[in-house]
Structure 1
Amino acid sequence: MDLAKLISTINSFLWGNLLLYLLCGTGIFFTFKLRFVQIRKLKAIFSNAFGNFSIKGEKAGKEGMSSFQSLATAVAAQVGTGNLAGAATAIASGGPGAIFWMWLSAFFGMGTIFAEAVLAQTFKVKDEDGQVVGGPAYYISQGTGSKAMAAFFAVAIIFALGFVGNMVQSNSIGDAFATAFDIPSLYVGIGIAILAGLVFFGGIGRIASVTEKIVPIMALFYIVSGLVVLGMHAENIIPSLKMIIQGAFNPKAATGGIIGATVKEAVRYGVARGLFSNEAGMGSTPHAHAVAKVKHPVQQGLVAIMGVLIDTFVVLNITALVILATGALDGQTTGIALTQSAFTKAFGSLGNPFVAVCLFFFAFSTIIGWYYFGESNIRYLFGVKGLTPYRVLVMLFIVLGSTLKVNLVWELADTFNGLMVIPNLIALLLLSKVVAKTLNEYDSGIN
């Protein structure tokens, strides 16, 4: 058995059994415990997220960043290859029905991500350098008292996102640029690493400045372009939605047997790729939400819900519907190549370059976000002295990732994502009373 198959077997158990139920169960638990906060606070979600919208906000520093900059940093991480390559992989592996399970897990995931952000705000601290930091390692160690579980999470996320996760991002950019522009993947990886390093070494101020500009522009550009494609294939939108619903419960019927997936595979790939896309419950986005300068933790919890709305219900749906409406699904193509195929059917020879450029901005912004999440945990484990070695290592992994086989990189990402999810979800459940109490205080006007 080769390495990719071995890791795939491990992931089938990890995601097909343990995490599938743990993630969905946690989301359902928080949704009911918080009385469907994602629905009853919908107006407040929008006002808190976009009330002070600006692509040139105040400069972030040691005291943290604005609420919108925190959202932009979180969305930078969420909106990446999971929306372009990940959605395509889910459809190719689990059938169109995988998208339905992405929707469902994302809806309940809003309850989970709200809890993550509230706890991150509640347990944030200042480190030896005077920098405000927070995230699961901090609420695990302070809230549950388990320093061992906090350290395990910190190590897992550094590998999951800072190293392996960023390999996924550079891998997808390298593949896309090789297809669209015939540029060797290695050269692309080196270029990405250099650009990323310029941001990494600029600290939190440069990270916030870059994400607040890139995220709104790239998301709007991709959404408008996707809507143009759907307008060109408007007659296929309803049939595509039917394929998604039917495929959730009968995958083979939805594609006429092109995709030989089972319902279990549709659920497994939908939830796994959905998590990789919106990151609810993963323990990643709380690092960005922890440093937001807000008056009450619940305010940032509501902003965090917006991140899932943008990622899954807007950007990811655009990709899924474009693939299905254009008829690009053939049962053989997967990953970013499937997304490129869909846009090529609509835009002709401009399709490949379009997706390559979009993917560059999506994935590059994710690299910045994931680097920052890892940095917060480097600070937790090693302090300021660990930052320079970490920055250099991330740059090396970016170059390495651009040259590897896509299946192996994605499988490794799933494994490390799973390892970091477990301690985070345990802590969330143990601290659920803190989240509920904080929300009740906010609802009662106690700030």
Structure 2
Amino acid sequence: MNFFSSIVDFVNGIIWGKNIIVVMLVGTGIFFTLSMKFMQIRLLKDMAGLLIRNTKDSESGISSFQAFCVSTATRVGAGNLVGVVAALSVGGAGSVFWMWIVAIFGAATAFVEATLALLFREKDKRGDYVGGAAYYIQKGLNKRWLGVIFVVFAMICWGGVLQVISNSVTESFHVAFGIDAKIMSGILAVLAAGVIFGRKDKIVRVLEKMVPFMAFAYLILVAFILVKNITLIPDVFKRIFEEAFGIRQAIGGSFGAVVMEGVKRGLFSNEAGTGSAPSAAAAAEVDHPAKQGLIQALGVYVDTLIICTATAFVVLVTNEKITAGLGGMTLLQEAFRYHVGNWGVIFIAFVLFLFAFSTALGITYYAKPNLIFIADKDWLQTAFKIFACCMLFYGGMKQAFLVWALADLGLGLMAIVNISAIIPLRKYAFDSLKDYEKKLKEDKK
């Protein structure tokens, strides 16, 4: 086991430690952004409009809004809380600016991979749309073996993530209520089982209601805190920009840490370029592939520019004497305690539970088309659902650092395979965007 752990750590040290993944994802985002003439900014109004209009169900797919909720559910998770706090602890306020930059460029990558998912999707034996990275790798590049490898990497990653989010939930509830980890992890696993073993559309139905609710509830409290501290907001922005460009850090030689921590946190949070979200996008019922690409690009903005920023601002308007020396969930809970009292600690515990629960459901939905790609067998789907519940239960009781490392490894390898596919296939997505904008102009005339 020690030998295996050493291999995992060695590979992670190369792909993450040497910033190979960061360079690939950010570089691809910049390339796509320039190639599509800043599509994610030019068509921002259309993104929001499409999300509102495309809510109608379909017999062979799901609505654009439901696909948006599924992908947002996995993006908006523990990383939006604990992860942002970790970025602030290591990179300071300046890391927030670089998270914004990554989101803007990442939206272009999200558009390309989601559009490709629509262009290369197919129907399973039940007549439902399925697709994603594995499918456009096979049909676009004619490399089924590479698609199978992507699915294997995805299963490694998602198995680890399920344990990580469960552990975060049990820790927060133990801090807030003193609940034993075994009890809390059992509750989480049972609730998840009740949804994922239901009828085929139960996951999207739950997420369709849960995602807007949890995001709205969290943002309402954050808005209250920020309005209460409105006079501090200008100083927060000033601090973010000063530290982002190393005005303070350059002297201490930590400018690189500010940039890289913000970049890494943004990538971990919004998942753009990793190939996960296309699994949900492919199931959407739309009359043009580019429409779903735009909606998925909007999901990156919601995750990073709104949810992550909200978390960061709550911490940054907190008296530094209160949070000095703290980290992780403790830091965030103490920040909320400072602003709204003891019930803020309880609120964060429940918000984290909702975020983690929705992530678990989203991962289960992602897994379905990827397993169908391997073999369209019902027993394979059932096996993964049992596996997911076991990971939630086990992860809540024990911190398995090897599993965390495997999750990082799986995510990194997923990104490498996915980026290697969407770059040569980019022309299909570019042409789809041109066709969409052409029709958009004709409709306006």
Settle same-fold status: TM greater than 0.5. yes
Question: Match for residue 202 of structure 2?
Answer: 206
Shift of 1:407: 6.5
Contact 1:170–1:189 (CA under 8 A) maintained in structure 2: yes
Matched, 1:109 2:106: yes
Contact 1:82–1:274 (CA under 8 A) maintained in structure 2: no
Matched, 1:174 2:158: no
Alpha-carbon distance in 1 for matches of 2:396, 2:261: 23
Alpha-carbon distance in 2 for matches of 1:88, 1:268: 15
CA RMSD of aligned residues (A): 2.5
- SS across alignment from 1:64: coil
Task: Spell out the pairing of 1:70-149 with structure 2 (5 A cutoff).
Answer: 70-149=67-146
Question: Match for residue 355 of structure 1?
Answer: 348
Alpha-carbon distance in 2 for matches of 1:92, 1:3: 31
Matched, 1:244 2:240: yes
Identify if the C-alpha distance between structure 1 residues 251 and 430 changes in structure 2 by more than 3 Å, giving closer, same or farther.
same
Q: Deviations over 1:273-330 (max 9, x none)?
A: 2122111111111111110000000110111111111111111100001011113584
Alpha-carbon distance in 1 for matches of 2:289, 2:218: 32
Question: Match for residue 396 of structure 1?
Answer: 390
Question: Match for residue 191 of structure 1?
Answer: 187
Alpha-carbon distance in 2 for matches of 1:130, 1:306: 28
Which of 255, 263, 284 is equivalent to 2:255? Answer: 263
- SS across alignment from 2:341: helix
Alpha-carbon distance in 1 for matches of 2:107, 2:387: 33
Identify if the C-alpha distance between structure 1 residues 64 and 76 changes in structure 2 by more than 3 Å, giving closer, same or farther.
same
Alpha-carbon distance in 1 for matches of 2:188, 2:297: 30
Alpha-carbon distance in 2 for matches of 1:5, 1:325: 41
Identity of aligned residues (%): 37
Contact 2:185–2:396 (CA under 8 A) maintained in structure 1: yes
Identify if the C-alpha distance between structure 1 residues 279 and 195 changes in structure 2 by more than 3 Å, giving closer, same or farther.
same
Q: Deviations over 1:397-433 (max 9, x none)?
A: 1112112338766544322211111110111101011
Question: Match for residue 280 of structure 1?
Answer: 272
Q: Deviations over 1:136-192 (max 9, x none)?
A: 00011111111121111111111212x111112111111111111111122111111
Alpha-carbon distance in 2 for matches of 1:3, 1:263: 34
Task: Spell out the pairing of 1:6-25 with structure 2 (5 A cutoff).
Answer: 10-15=11-16, 16-25=18-27
Contact 1:103–1:313 (CA under 8 A) maintained in structure 2: yes
Query: Structure 1 unaligned runs (5+)?
Result: none
Shift of 1:339: 1.5
Give the aligned residue type for 1:360.
F
Alpha-carbon distance in 1 for matches of 2:95, 2:8: 21
Query: Structure 2 unaligned runs (5+)?
Result: none
Question: Match for residue 313 of structure 1?
Answer: 305
Shift of 1:272: 2.2
Q: Deviations over 1:28-84 (max 9, x none)?
A: 11111111111111121111011245xxx64x66x1101111111111111111111
Alpha-carbon distance in 1 for matches of 2:107, 2:80: 17
Give the aligned residue type for 1:201.
F
Question: Match for residue 301 of structure 1?
Answer: 293
Contact 2:64–2:292 (CA under 8 A) maintained in structure 1: yes
Contact 1:233–1:326 (CA under 8 A) maintained in structure 2: no
Question: Match for residue 377 of structure 1?
Answer: 370
Alpha-carbon distance in 1 for matches of 2:62, 2:287: 13
Contact 1:173–1:363 (CA under 8 A) maintained in structure 2: yes
Shift of 1:27: 0.3
Q: Normalization by structure 2: what TM-score?
A: 0.92
Contact 1:14–1:418 (CA under 8 A) maintained in structure 2: yes
Give the aligned residue type for 1:366.
T
Q: Deviations over 1:208-243 (max 9, x none)?
A: 110110111111111010011112222322222223
Identify if the C-alpha distance between structure 1 residues 344 and 412 changes in structure 2 by more than 3 Å, giving closer, same or farther.
farther
Alpha-carbon distance in 1 for matches of 2:381, 2:6: 34
Q: Deviations over 1:238-270 (max 9, x none)?
A: 22222322222338649x98xxx8333333322
